[in-house]
């Protein structure tokens, strides 16, 4: 056993190789200074040959002074560092870390998942037993559930009335442990209403207690005496001993009414059939190839083969500075994506961590890679409205100095990169934070947009927020987002696009589509800006990803999709990667590539007597081969226009 002070480090430079995944395990305890529990973290310190430094978090645990606690984590080095140290840190000074063992070894390969067995899944069948009290609730099924269920019996028109509520959690509850199947995605749907006497909008939520962990099944804000649709989804991935469903939320003294509560497994494949047809309708168009240079006898026998080489629809990914030192990562990225967004390297806390101490080198390197390879880039983000993300030196400024710092940030960033970023997220997550608005007043948000537009009018300026599309957060419902955007427009802010982050759990197509339909009424382009899905089972993760990508491709308001990364150990969420740490493509990655392949149009046939050949195809780059009795000719052409009428492409042979 080693007795280490509150921070301990060991050099491992010569013992680790780049592009290999390593597993770190340690047994730790703390001692001294009357501290009984403390966070203990394992951190990697890396110095590159050009003297850049990074700190990589590997693992952390709550350690105690009584028992040994195991900590475990993984890491991978993208580049060839000149120095690598592993640190244990965390407890306050005067409290030691006791280390029993510390092992760093090449990580074993994760065994592939097996596909879950949904053979006897009762898709669309409600697992809730509804009791009836009052009458007069809607008999129609709420829209999001109706879109999942298809033709269906009407609701009973009866509802449950909960009175004498003295706590927010009071409401009906039901045990559903035995009725749930692992890895199935369940949709939650009901009508809810509140009685009179509320002093303001009330939050109603359907919550599940899974072995005493809370799971969100959907939320809605209710401010009047009407019936409101509530919808959400959830999934259980390990065997629970007890699952209860609760309906709760309004303040004490307010009556709560619930009608037609349904919880049912969703048949995802059934909706995919509809989405394929819808995608064909909105993303493809009729293309007429008009061949010249063939004489009439050649025309009669000319064979045509059309192959699409790339689809121009924007599908991009988040990248980090260290990723671009890994040629395998860069290879996958350049082969499969046409847009990029930087994970952190453009954020203010990264480009100016201390006042006047600028770091644009990381962003410059990443931009350079993108420009050399014709990859478009999103600028994420100029400001971030959430208090916890604002660096300390900004928080300490008075109002006048803060206003100056905001102006300097805008002019510094947008002048330096003028014309380089196609989009900017101007002030990230304004539905979830208000640091700048609280300090500088309501007009600051509109002014950020106006100033950004003056400095770089070529960039489309976006709002960007999370939990907009999943029904689980009343702060960022589509209605609240629409209100925020129209308020900004009322201030004269040139809002050019709507960003939906898309960090989503157990997505259900009709719930996502319902949010897109509502936001689509604003007539602005919508992008999924930070899409990731998570499941311990790669097949289920693949299904989640397919739900999101198909919903996006089938929706006319969606104009681009950005994944929030794809490589293991470089994602913001666990169990969300498409490519394993050492480069093998998992089931989710294979599904992504299969969808990319599906969204390429190919056709073949004969040229008609007039020298025409017609097919339906996506926008993008094509190769056409024409074979006549006397010659073989190959040409490329590009389809860019989004018009409704057939596009005529002239090809001279």
Per-residue three-class SS string for 542-590:
HHHHHHHHHHHHCCCCEEEEEECCCECCCCCCCCCCCECCCCCECHHHH
Helix (H) or strand (E) holding 527: strand 526-531
C-alpha 343: how far from chain center: 12
Q: Catalytic one among 352, 385, 469, 530?
A: 530
Whether the CB-CB separation of 149 and 264 falls below 8 Å is answered with yes
List the alpha helices (DSSP H) in 159-314.
Answer: 268-283, 296-301
Instruction: State in Å, rounded, how far the first CA of the chain is from the last one.
Output: 80
Please return the burial class of 523, using the count of CB atoms within 10 Å of its CB with bins 0-12, 13-18 and 19+. Answer: exposed
Q: What angle do CA 569, 570, 576 make, to 5 degrees?
A: 75
Angle at which helix 327-336 crosses helix 587-598, to 10 degrees, equals 30
Read off φ and ψ for residue 212, nearest 5 degrees: 70, 10
Task: In whole angstroms, give the CA distance from residue 140 to residue 596.
Answer: 38
Euclidean distance between CA atoms 364 and 370, whole angstroms: 10
Q: Please, what's the largest Cα pairwise distance for the chain?
A: 96
H or E element in which residue 415 lies: helix 399-416
> What are the residues whose beta carbons fall under 8 Å from the beta carbon of 604, sequence distance 6 or more?
303, 304, 305, 306
Tell me, yes or no, if 11 is annotated catalytic: no
* Contact (Cβ atoms closer than 8 angstroms) between residue 93 and residue 519: no
Residues, the chain: 653
Alpha-carbon distance of 378 to 318, in angstroms, equals 9
CA-CA distance, 417 to 399, in Å (whole number)?
Answer: 27
Token pair, residue 205, equals: 């939520």
User: Which active-site residues does the annotation give?
Assistant: 530
């Amino acid at each position: 056993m080693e007795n280490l002070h509150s921070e301990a480090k060991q050099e491992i430079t010569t013992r680790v190789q780049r592009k290999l995944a390593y597993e770190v395990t340690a047994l730790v305890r703390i001692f001294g200074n009357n501290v009984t529990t403390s966070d203990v973290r394992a951190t990697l310190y890396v110095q590159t040959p050009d003297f850049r430094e990074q700190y990589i978090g590997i693992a952390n645990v709550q350690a105690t002074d009584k028992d040994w606690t195991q900590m475990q984590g993984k890491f991978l080095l993208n580049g060839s560092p000149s120095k690598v140290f592993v640190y244990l840190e965390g407890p306050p000074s005067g409290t030691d870390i006791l280390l029993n063992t510390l092992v760093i070894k090449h990580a074993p390969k994760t065994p592939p998942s097996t596909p879950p067995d949904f053979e006897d899944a009762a898709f669309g069948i409600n697992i809730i037993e509804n009791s009836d009290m009052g009458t007069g609730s809607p008999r129609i099924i709420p829209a999001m559930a109706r879109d999942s269920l298809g033709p269906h019996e009407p609701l009973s028109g009866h509802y449950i009335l909960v009175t004498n509520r003295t706590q927010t959690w009071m409401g009906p509850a039901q045990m559903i442990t035995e009725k749930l199947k692992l890895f199935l995605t369940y949709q939650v749907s009901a009508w809810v209403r509140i009685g009179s006497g509320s002093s303001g909008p009330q939050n109603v939520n359907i919550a599940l207690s899974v072995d005493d962990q809370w799971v969100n099944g959907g939320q809605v804000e209710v401010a009047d005496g009407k019936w409101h649709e509530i919808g959400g989804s959830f999934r259980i991935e390990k065997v629970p001993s007890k699952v209860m469903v609760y309906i709760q939320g309004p303040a004490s003294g307010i009556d709560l009414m619930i009608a037609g509560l349904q919880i049912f497994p969703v048949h995802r494949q059934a909706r995919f059939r509809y989405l394929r047809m819808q995608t064909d309708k909105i993303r493809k168009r009729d293309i007429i190839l008009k061949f010249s240079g063939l004489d009439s006898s050649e025309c009669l026998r000319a064979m045509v083969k059309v192959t699409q080489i790339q689809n121009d629809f924007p599908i991009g990914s988040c990248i980090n500075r260290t990723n671009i030192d890994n040629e395998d990562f860069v290879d996958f990225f350049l082969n499969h994506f046409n847009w990029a967004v930087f994970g952190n390297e453009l954020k203010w806390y990264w480009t100016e961590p201390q006042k006047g101490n600028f770091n644009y080198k990381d962003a410059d390197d990443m931009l350079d890679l993108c420009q050399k390879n014709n990859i478009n880039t999103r600028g994420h983000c100029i400001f971030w409205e959430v208090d916890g993300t604002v660096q300390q030196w900004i928080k300490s400024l008075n109002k006048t100095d803060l206003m100056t710092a905001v102006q300097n940030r805008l002019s510094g960033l947008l002048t330096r990169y003028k014309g380089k970023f196609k989009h900017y997220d101007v002030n990230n997550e304004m539905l979830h934070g208000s640091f700048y608005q609280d300090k500088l007043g309501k007009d600051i948000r509109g002014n950020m947009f106006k100033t950004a537009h003056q400095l770089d009018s070529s960039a489309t300026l976006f709002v960007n927020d999370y939990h907009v599309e999943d029904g689980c957060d009343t702060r960022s419902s589509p209605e609240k987002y629409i209100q925020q955007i129209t308020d900004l427009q009322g201030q004269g802010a040139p809002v050019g696009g709507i960003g939906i982050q898309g960090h989503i759990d157990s997505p259900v197509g009709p719930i996502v589509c319902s949010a897109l339909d509502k936001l689509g009424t604003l007539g602005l382009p919508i992008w999924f800006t930070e899409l990731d899905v998570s499941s311990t089972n790669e097949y289920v993760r693949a299904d989640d990803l397919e739900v999101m990508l198909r919903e996006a491709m089938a929706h006319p308001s969606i104009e681009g999709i950005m994944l929030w990364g794809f490589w293991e150990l470089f994602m913001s969420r666990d169990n969300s990667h498409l490519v394993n740490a050492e480069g093998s493509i998992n089931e989710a990655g294979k599904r992504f590539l299969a969808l990319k392949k599906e969204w390429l149009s190919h056709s073949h046939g004969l040229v008609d007597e007039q020298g025409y050949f017609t097919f339906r195809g996506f926008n993008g780059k094509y190769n056409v081969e024409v074979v006549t009795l006397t010659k073989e000719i190959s040409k490329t052409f590009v389809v860019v226009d989004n018009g409704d009428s057939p596009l005529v492409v002239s090809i001279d042979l």
